[in-house]
Amino acid sequence: MSRYSLSHLSDTDLLHSLHASISCERASTADVLANIAEVDERKLYLTAAYASMYAYCIGELRYSEDAAYKRIQAARAARVFPAILPAVAEGRLHLTGVGLLAPHLTTENADDLLAAASGKTKAQVEQLLAERFPRPDLLTLVQPFTTAPQREGEPAPAQVGVRETTGGQLAPGRDGCEGASAGQLAPAQVPTPTPRDRVAPTAPERYAVQLTISKAMHDKLRYAQALLGHQVPAGEIAEVFDRALDALIGNLERDKFAATSRPRGSRHASDDPRHIPAEVRRAVWQRDSGRCTFVSADGHRCEATSRLEFDHLEPVAKGGRATPSNLRLRCRAHNQHAAAQAFGAGFMDEKRRKAREAAAERARVRAEEREIAARAARARAELEARGRAAAETMPWLRRPGPRGRADHCPSPAGS
């Protein structure tokens, strides 16, 4: 008999079994969160050849994207506020509730807020947060949307729908999770008042793309359609985007690894030891297939294909040279991991701290420059306005009066 066949149980035993299983599930969930939090803190996903905790939860632990996002969010919150774990284990809080509470938890309010949310449903937690942290009223938007055309190439009829914004909705964005530091409570935690861009499969080798574009992008699209009028007479947007991506990818490949159909050797050697010649970048990129080369102890290769960097096996600081045999592709996370192994975690933390300070200083200088330019522009505009006002007034001040006197030169009294 299968362990999942429960038809032999009485009603009482079945209900008892259900409650016991749920109790075990809650305790296990709390244990899972504690483990995820510790693995995330130690960044052990890197040695397993994953670029982020999010990628590890999906690739290694086989969670769905949404399940991975919720557990990482709850685990990071629980690391800062440990009272979350027993609340989950005892069934006083569910993962969705933790996700809703996480952005609002502070050292001062955590105990009170967790107690207030105890035993509440998702809707009740949302009501609690609305009372404690009120937000401005949301606007009702009237937006056009389209339905699929009836015939190939026929423009879709525009319709009008009413949609209310839903600020505060959390979406499990891959980028947000991967880019989040271990200290963050929730990856990709941003309000989404408009629909998120999405790509979804609809049929074999067919995908639907949904996005919202600005007026400027709309104008560019229409201009591109006009320029392609002879080549794409119907102006199909899919064809326009396909050609645009071909052009964009070509430019990015040239910038990233010097891709070209007519390669040639470097004419001038650089004195910079960190400079990587174009032919070396091409060779390394092709050899590594545009993918991070980090491999875990069990043979799993990191699947990251974005934010790739050229990493020196023998660091430049130790005399390493920019040759194909001394270079490899690494995602940023594994590049930083290799640097920490070579120079020590403390050294890399200090380098990152200095880099953050330098970036903040550059941002401050740019902000000051923008403010100075804005003040100068305002001053010029004020001077120009004064000049125009004076130019408009002078003809009236100099208009001849009786006996040839100018109106602005009144005669002395009694003259």
**DSSP characters over 249-296:** HHHHHHHHH---SS----SS--S-TT---HHHHHHHHHHTTTS---B-
Q: What residues contact residue 176 under an 8 Å CB cut-off, 6+ apart?
A: 187, 188, 189, 190
Six token digits for residue 265: 């050797």
Together in a domain, 282 and 352: no
Beta bridge partners of 327: 312
Task: Tell me which of 132, 167, 196 is where a domain ends.
Answer: 132
Quick: pLDDT tens for 15-33: 999 999 999 999 999 999 9
**Residue 181 within a domain:** no
- 330: region left, alpha or beta (phi > 0 left; psi from -120 to 50 alpha): beta
Together in a domain, 33 and 114: yes
Together in a domain, 88 and 120: yes
Together in a domain, 121 and 57: yes
State what percent of residues in the chain have pLDDT above 90.
Answer: 53
Whole-number Cα distances in Å, 116 to 30, 68, 121: 20, 26, 12
Together in a domain, 25 and 117: yes
**Residue 317 within a domain:** yes
pLDDT value, residue 401: 56
Task: Tell me which of 300, 324, 343 is where a domain ends.
Answer: 343
Together in a domain, 337 and 351: no
pLDDT value, residue 19: 95
pLDDT mean across residues, the chain: 82
Beta bridge partners of 164: 140
Range of the domain at 358: 347-394
Together in a domain, 286 and 377: no
Together in a domain, 351 and 336: no
**Residue 198 within a domain:** no
Quick: pLDDT tens for 333-371: 999 998 888 888 788 788 888 888 999 999 999 999 999
Rounded mean pLDDT of 87-96? 96
Provide the 3-class DSSP secondary structure of residue 44. Answer: helix
Together in a domain, 332 and 298: yes
Whole-number Cα distances in Å, 205 to 89, 238, 240, 247, 330: 44, 14, 19, 22, 30
- Select from 288, 278, 234, 232 the least CA-distant residue to 257: 278
**Residue 230 within a domain:** no
> pTM for the complete prediction?
0.67
- Measured in degrees and rounded to the nearest 5, phi and psi for residue 159 equal -125, 170
Question: Which segments within 173-326 are labelled E, that is strand?
Answer: 198-203, 206-210, 308-312
Number of structural domains the chain divides into? 3
Task: Tell me which of 117, 132, 147 is where a domain ends.
Answer: 132
